[in-house]
């Protein structure tokens, strides 16, 4: 196995790693963690690996990673021989990707938090989370619309990058928090394009393309 992943099936952040591994065709050892209601991510063993008490956790040989963006960069650097997902030699493009990696954290703290409130009754400031989530969706819609005018379908450049992988889950899962995609045509096209990638894998709440067609989406 290329790495070990401690993850929770309903976590959008954990799904980013599973999705990218599927797209890259990477085999790995997945270790399910009882996040809810078991709170296993707060156990002594996992807190030793990640004192922040968050998921996912990746272990590759002696390397322990606890930030999802770092995991995506590591995977792209190690397994993407074409250097398209993380074009490290293109300074402008990598800088743009890093900005979207940072923005993906905003999606977690807005849409992700609102989703936890809806699904697991997490105590959050739900009105603020939803309002900020709408702002985040509008920003992505604006970027994708601008990219579309240039003939592109992705957040950065002419092909998918880890920026798309990082932002996809919580945008796709926004309806779980009550934020529908009806008013965001560019986002809907982008979600469809990612679902159409070879090696795409699903999670609860995110379906394959043929399932969307069956539902008439």
Give the pLDDT band of residue 215 (cuts 50, 70, 90): very low
Give the pLDDT band of residue 210 (cuts 50, 70, 90): low
Q: Which residue has the higher pLDDT, 3 or 35?
A: 3
- Find the CATH number of the domain harbouring 200: 1.20.1050.10
Q: Quick one: DSSP state of residue 206?
A: B
**Number of domains within the chain:** 2
Residue 68 sits in the same domain as residue 95: no
Neighbouring CB atoms inside 10 A of 214's CB total 10
Q: For position 211, what pLDDT does the model report?
A: 55
Structural domain span for residue 166 = 91-215
Q: Burial code of 163-178, b = ≥16 C-beta within 10 A, e = fewer?
A: bbbbbbbbbbbbebbe
Q: Quick one: DSSP state of residue 50?
A: -
Q: Which residue has the tokens 């008439």?
A: 216
Q: What is the mean pLDDT of the chain?
A: 92
Residue 75 sits in the same domain as residue 111: no
pTM for this predicted structure:
0.92
Last residue of a domain, one of 79, 103, 138: 79
In a domain, 141, yes or no: yes
Give the pLDDT band of residue 118 (cuts 50, 70, 90): confident
Q: Which of 165, 151, 166, 155 is nearest to 195 (CA)?
A: 165
Q: For position 16, what pLDDT does the model report?
A: 98
Residue 33 sits in the same domain as residue 101: no
* Residues 44-88 pLDDT 10s: 888 998 999 999 999 998 999 999 999 999 999 999 999 999 999
Residues 10-17: what's their mean pLDDT?
96
Q: For position 35, what pLDDT does the model report?
A: 75
Residues 126-139: what's their mean pLDDT?
96
């Amino acid at each position: 196995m290329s790495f070990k992943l401690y993850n929770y099936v309903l976590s959008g952040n954990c799904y980013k790693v599973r999705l990218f591994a599927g797209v890259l065709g990477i085999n790995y050892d997945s270790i399910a963690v009882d996040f809810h209601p078991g709170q296993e991510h707060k156990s002594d063993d996992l807190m030793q690996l990640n004192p922040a008490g968050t998921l996912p956790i990746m272990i590759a040989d002696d390397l322990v990673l606890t930030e999802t963006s770092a995991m995506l960069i590591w995977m792209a650097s190690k397994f993407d021989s074409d250097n398209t997902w993380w074009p490290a030699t293109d300074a402008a493009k990598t800088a743009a990707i890093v900005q979207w990696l940072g923005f993906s954290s905003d999606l977690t703290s807005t849409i992700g938090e609102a989703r936890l409130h809806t699904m697991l009754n997490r105590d959050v400031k739900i009105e603020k989370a939803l309002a900020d989530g709408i702002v985040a969706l509008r920003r992505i819609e604006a970027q994708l619309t601008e990219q579309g005018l240039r003939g592109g379908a992705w957040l950065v450049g002419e092909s998918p990058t880890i920026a798309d992988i990082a932002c996809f889950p919580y945008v796709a899962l926004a309806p779980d928090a009550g934020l529908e995609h009806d008013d965001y045509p560019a986002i809907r096209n982008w979600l469809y394009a990612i679902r159409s990638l070879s090696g795409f894998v699903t999670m609860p709440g995110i379906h394959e393309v043929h399932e969307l067609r069956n539902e008439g989406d």
